[in-house]
């Protein structure tokens, strides 16, 4: 899978979490360089646009992403 289109400007990695090692590196490999369709941040971005992605939403918070999307679509 290709690199996520949002990686360069993703505030999660650029402002919130270092992607050099540890959990940040694991998240980046799994979601940004792997299957970004399973990234909670990417899910909200694709469904509702960048302004709708909460700053505190971690890539693995898929349940919360689904709730955000469902609430917005009501």
pLDDT of 25-69, one tens digit each? 888 888 888 888 999 999 999 999 999 999 889 999 999 999 999
In the block, tokens 């694709």 appear at 46
Q: Residue 64 corresponds to which tokens in the numbers above?
A: 């919360």
Asked if the model's pLDDT at residue 1 lies above 60, the reply is no
Question: CB within 8 A of 55, min separation 6: which ones?
Answer: 11, 16
Looking at residue 35, its pLDDT comes to 85
Count of other CB atoms within 10 angstroms of residue 26: 13
Looking at residue 19, its pLDDT comes to 59
The rounded distance, in Å, linking the Cα atoms of 7 and 63 is 21
């Amino acid at each position: 899978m290709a690199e996520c289109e949002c990686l360069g400007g993703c505030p999660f990695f650029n402002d919130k979490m270092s992607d050099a090692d540890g959990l940040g590196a694991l998240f980046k490999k799994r979601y940004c360089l792997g299957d970004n369709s399973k990234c909670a941040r990417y899910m909200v971005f694709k469904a509702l646009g960048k302004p709708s992605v909460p700053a505190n939403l971690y890539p693995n918070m898929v349940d919360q992403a689904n709730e955000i999307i469902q609430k917005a679509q009501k």
